[in-house]
A and B are shown apart, each in its own frame.
Chain A
Amino acid sequence: MIHLTVRNLHKHFGGNHVLKGVGFEVKGAELIGLIGPNGAGKTTLTNILDGAIKPTSGTVYLNGERIDQLEPYEVARAGLGRTFQVTRSFRRMTVLENLQVPALAMDRGESRAEMRDKAHDVLEFLTMEHLRNEFAQALSGGQQKLLELGRLLMLDPDVIILDEPFAGVHPKLMEIIYAYIRRVNEAGKAIIIISHQMDSIFSLSERLLVLNFGDLIADGPPEAVKRDPAVIEAYLGSDEEEEA
């Protein structure tokens, strides 16, 4: 079973204490939302989880393996994949080549034909099969987001972090992303979604983590978190405030 353990993470950038002892666990195919105001430390936490930056102190274990000191490619191979807040497709490579990169990097012993078939299935699911030979730079912003999700399907990690998957996306593409999240989750993967779109995050998530100025101020079911006074004060705001 998938088991991600984050313990007492601290991160300092100079005098700026960005993460202040963040800790949580993910067990099994959980669908988790990670929310918080700008500057809360969400991106820093993501970058630590994927190995892009190292924590000042604290540990991260994935399925019993310590991953907080690994390089990003080692973290990916250990079973944690992510998308980026700003889409980062390989623009001067074709859609198919974009999908081949993680498949070949993982080196699971699949034949080229098997990889092609898998890529075909992924593109069909993302309604992008007709674009397979186009350069990624020819795709719309939404399609590039889908392509990033497709690369994660090819990487096939245990834990997936989606950083702002709904930002600037057309409602029709949003439906595809919803379907993607449900499909991946039903396939037994744990998903952590970072988003400022409250409707989406509350409707999709089974559990919410709320960060505020580097502190994890709430961790629980969405309905409970919604009513948490600390969360209301720090991030959501009250109905009275909205009316005012």
Chain B
Amino acid sequence: MMRQVPNIAAVLFLGVLVAFPFVYTAGDYDYVMHVLITAFFYAILASSWSMLAGYAGQFSFGHMGFMGIGAYTTALFCHYLWVADAPTGLCDEVEIFGTWFIVVDAIGVTSSTLTQDCLREALAADPALSVGRMPVLLGIVLGTVMGGLAGFLIGLLVLRLRAAYLALFTLGFSEILKATISAEIEVTRGQAGLELPSLYESGITLLGTTYDKTAKLPPYFTMLGLLLLCLGILTWLARSRFGLFVRALREDQDAAAALGVNTTRYKVLVFTITCAMAAAAGAVQAHYIGIITPNLLFLLQMSLVVAMAVIGGVENFFAAAVGAIILQVMLELLRNSFEVGGYEIDMTIWRLVFFGLLLMITLRFFRNGLLAPMIEYFTRGHVAKETVARRQAAEAAFEAGREAGR
């Protein structure tokens, strides 16, 4: 029964999250929902990073870079690629099965009205021209694939790098990516950011209720669904030989190889899978927010993900995910400033001090986070007793055998 406590708690927690949007009715509904959607986004990043760093021992600091690849892939895809029923004659275009695929001009931020855009000029010239965006879902899938592909390549490049060298390499990769996005203003619009269509641009009907593109409930369940999908895949992987091998890789790469484990394959695989998850989260979040900038890739964002995973428990991706949700909510709750003896405490700044202190205390006293040890208490609390009982039974059997032999 004790061993089932974490499972029961997980089901109850999930029940609360599923019911919440239907039972919460306060005036700040949209704000609270936004906080939770963002929390789920961070939970995907923290749990996938936990598989990479906690399970496989690959301390990558480029996770936000892969998230950015997912976000920018779908953004560029949806921003530049359009479909039309007839050629524009102005844009680069190609016909496939009767549909014209149009690549609009990369005009950077030179015009805020986008009048240089070939598609707008074509529409002005021929109002009967029917054009449409590429499907958002296809953009998200492409973003996920590109994130996984980048993870695969980086995984190959860092095969021989360990510890601090791996961390610095991946950090460098993320920073280079951010600098490239910032510099390529003509394509990415730099710090001005790229606008994306909403997750459900034309609205969506769920259980008989129609939600418009600004409604929070559809993206809430989309991000929660993606989180559950990622946790499901991670659980399946952790319980398979993959999970066993990547943990062996973390413990001792040379010993694992000497026992027949293809360490190269599993190192590359774990990078590919976890980076694809980060990219999927980035792509969905980008469509939810509606605009992305290179600031998404700030080192501070990566530090936040690492801190969330560490405080939850880096060697348990469920703990990392729940830790991320709780911390994101707490960080928002702590925004409220208050007065003490006539002095106003500005919590917009002090909350980060609180967060930093929590991280330091966790690192100093709770090596595997605050939640993971609780889970371990219930799942492994019985092991010591079992060991003693088995040893006593073996000793008793040995004694009985010796008595019988006399």
Residues on A facing B (Cβ under 8 Å)? 50-52, 71-73, 76-77, 81-82, 84, 88-93, 97, 100-102, 104-106, 127, 129-134, 151, 155
- Contact among A77, A93, A127 for B260, CB-based, below 8 A: A77
Residue in B closest to A157 when the chains form the complex, CB atoms: B260
- Whether B252 lies near A101 (C-beta < 8 A) is no
For the complex of A and B, the 9 pairs showing the least CB-CB separation, nearest first, are A130-B390, A105-B260, A90-B251, A72-B257, A76-B260, A102-B259, A88-B255, A130-B391, A104-B241
Which residues of B sit under 8 angstroms from A104, Cβ to Cβ?
A: 241, 244-245
Residue in A closest to B256 when the chains form the complex, CB atoms: A101
- Contact among B252, B262, B380 for A73, CB-based, below 8 A: B262
Which residues of A sit under 8 angstroms from B262, Cβ to Cβ?
A: 71, 73, 105
User: Does B254 make an interface contact (CB < 8 A)?
Assistant: yes
- Contact among A81, A101, A127 for B248, CB-based, below 8 A: A101
- Whether A101 lies near B258 (C-beta < 8 A) is no
C-alpha gap A130/B392 in the complex (Å): 9
Which residues of A sit under 8 angstroms from B380, Cβ to Cβ?
A: 133
- Whether B261 lies near A73 (C-beta < 8 A) is yes
C-alpha gap A132/B384 in the complex (Å): 11
Which residues of A sit under 8 angstroms from B250, Cβ to Cβ?
A: 92
20 contacts across the A-B interface (CB closer than 8 A): A73-B257, A73-B258, A73-B261, A76-B258, A84-B255, A88-B252, A89-B255, A90-B255, A91-B251, A92-B247, A100-B244, A101-B245, A101-B248, A102-B260, A105-B245, A105-B262, A127-B394, A130-B387, A130-B391, A134-B383
- Whether A93 lies near B247 (C-beta < 8 A) is yes
Would you give the 0/1 interface string for B233-274, flagging 1 where the beta carbon is closer than 8 Å to chain A? Answer: 000000001001101101110111111111110000000000
B245 to chain A, nearest CB (A): 7
Most buried by B among A106, A132, A133: A133
- Whether B394 lies near A155 (C-beta < 8 A) is no
Residue in A closest to B386 when the chains form the complex, CB atoms: A133
C-alpha gap A92/B314 in the complex (Å): 13
Residue in A closest to B250 when the chains form the complex, CB atoms: A92
Q: Is the interface of B mostly helix, strand, loop or mixed?
A: helix
Residues on B facing A (Cβ under 8 Å)? 241, 244-245, 247-248, 250-252, 254-264, 315, 380, 383, 386-387, 390-391, 393-394
C-alpha gap A82/B259 in the complex (Å): 8
- Contact among B252, B257, B386 for A90, CB-based, below 8 A: B252
- Whether B387 lies near A72 (C-beta < 8 A) is no
- Whether B244 lies near A129 (C-beta < 8 A) is no
C-alpha gap A145/B259 in the complex (Å): 15
Residue in B closest to A80 when the chains form the complex, CB atoms: B258
C-alpha gap A82/B255 in the complex (Å): 9
Residue in B closest to A155 when the chains form the complex, CB atoms: B259
Which residues of A sit under 8 angstroms from B263, Cβ to Cβ?
A: 73
C-alpha gap A71/B265 in the complex (Å): 12
C-alpha gap A97/B259 in the complex (Å): 13
- Whether B244 lies near A72 (C-beta < 8 A) is no
A104 to chain B, nearest CB (A): 5
Which residues of B sit under 8 angstroms from A101, Cβ to Cβ?
A: 244-245, 248, 256, 259, 261
Which residues of B sit under 8 angstroms from A133, Cβ to Cβ?
A: 380, 383, 386-387
Which residues of B sit under 8 angstroms from A88, Cβ to Cβ?
A: 252, 254-255
A206 to chain B, nearest CB (A): 25
Which residues of B sit under 8 angstroms from A132, Cβ to Cβ?
A: 390
Residue in B closest to A133 when the chains form the complex, CB atoms: B383
- Whether A92 lies near B394 (C-beta < 8 A) is no
C-alpha gap A129/B390 in the complex (Å): 8
C-alpha gap A151/B260 in the complex (Å): 11
Most buried by B among A52, A82, A104, A106: A104
A150 to chain B, nearest CB (A): 11
Residue in B closest to A75 when the chains form the complex, CB atoms: B258
C-alpha gap A93/B246 in the complex (Å): 11
Residue in B closest to A100 when the chains form the complex, CB atoms: B244
Given A130-B394, A131-B387, A133-B386, are A81 and B251 also a contact pair (CB < 8 Å)?
A: no
C-alpha gap A151/B258 in the complex (Å): 10
A70 to chain B, nearest CB (A): 11
- Whether B252 lies near A76 (C-beta < 8 A) is no
Which residues of A sit under 8 angstroms from B390, Cβ to Cβ?
A: 129-130, 132
Residue in A closest to B260 when the chains form the complex, CB atoms: A105
- Contact among A52, A81, A91, A127 for B254, CB-based, below 8 A: A52
Residue in A closest to B398 when the chains form the complex, CB atoms: A127
A151 to chain B, nearest CB (A): 6
- Whether A82 lies near B258 (C-beta < 8 A) is yes
Which residues of B sit under 8 angstroms from A51, Cβ to Cβ?
A: 257
Which residues of B sit under 8 angstroms from A76, Cβ to Cβ?
A: 257-260
